[in-house]
């Protein structure tokens, strides 16, 4: 019998993607549980969402560590204590080092508000508007040591309207993030994702 996946979710902000994951677990879409929600921001609304759902939370202050590796080792220690086997980045605003990424090789997921490899990094929606593209979207990918260069799991396109602002485009993209992020996590938990040569194959698709 396959062991249920234990998710560890890293957050910094309001946690809308975290909420979509919580709701998807509650509805049975994702066969997993959230073992811990960790934040580098004591005031993150995401922590309140997790508390409300009865999920353990912890604020780990990066300022208490003189070295980034020590901070990340603390994250790893807490994730290990919670038996986490899939790390979910849900608006976590810190870049992870090779130390962390190698420890959880092919076990870290992120969602990015563009159709990668277009517009990686910060301000993806602003990049899209500045480039004048007609279609943007969102991408769920495994995290590697590059900036948004990891193997792509799922993508969904979102049309860019002539009157779009950064906020309006971001809002419509976020709606689709809330759909495809839980779907990607579910595929992982069902053992349906195979990574080879920096590409993801979905079993049965």
Catalytic residues: 112
DSSP character for 63?
G
Three-state DSSP state, 68: helix
Instruction: For residue 137, give both structure tokens.
Output: 């979207």
Cα separation, 63 vs 5, in Å, equals: 31
Give, for 174, the enclosing helix (H) or strand (E).
Answer: helix 166-189
Distances in Å between the alpha carbon of 102 and those of 76, 96, 97, 145? Answer: 11, 10, 9, 8
Residue 103 sits at φ, ψ, to 5 deg, of: -65, -40
Cβ-contact 76, 100 below 8 angstroms:
yes
Cα separation, 58 vs 189, in Å, equals: 24
Q: Checking phi first, is residue 178 left (phi over 0); if not, alpha (psi -120 to 50) or beta? A: alpha
Tell how strand 57-59 and strand 32-39 pair up. parallel
How many C-beta neighbours within 10 Å does residue 132 have? 7
């Amino acid at each position: 019998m396959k062991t249920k996946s234990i998710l560890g979710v890293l957050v910094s902000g309001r946690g809308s993607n975290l909420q979509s994951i919580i709701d998807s677990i509650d509805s049975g879409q994702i066969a997993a549980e959230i073992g811990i929600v960790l934040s580098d921001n004591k005031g993150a609304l995401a922590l309140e969402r997790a508390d409300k759902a009865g999920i353990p939370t912890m604020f780990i202050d990066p300022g208490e560590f003189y070295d980034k590796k020590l901070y990340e080792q603390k994250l790893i220690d807490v994730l290990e204590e919670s038996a986490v086997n899939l790390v979910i980045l849900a608006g976590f605003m810190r870049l992870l080092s090779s130390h962390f990424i190698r420890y959880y090789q092919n076990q870290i997921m992120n969602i990015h508000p563009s159709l990668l490899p277009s517009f990686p990094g910060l301000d993806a929606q602003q990049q899209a508007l500045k480039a004048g593209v007609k279609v943007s979207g969102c991408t769920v990918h495994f995290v590697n040591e590059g900036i948004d260069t990891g193997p792509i799991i799922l993508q969904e396109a979102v049309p860019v309207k002539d009157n779009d602002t950064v906020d309006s485009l971001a809002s419509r993209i976020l709606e689709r993030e809330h759909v495809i992020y839980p779907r990607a996590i579910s595929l992982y938990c069902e053992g349906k994702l195979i990574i080879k040569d920096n590409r993801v194959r979905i079993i049965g698709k």
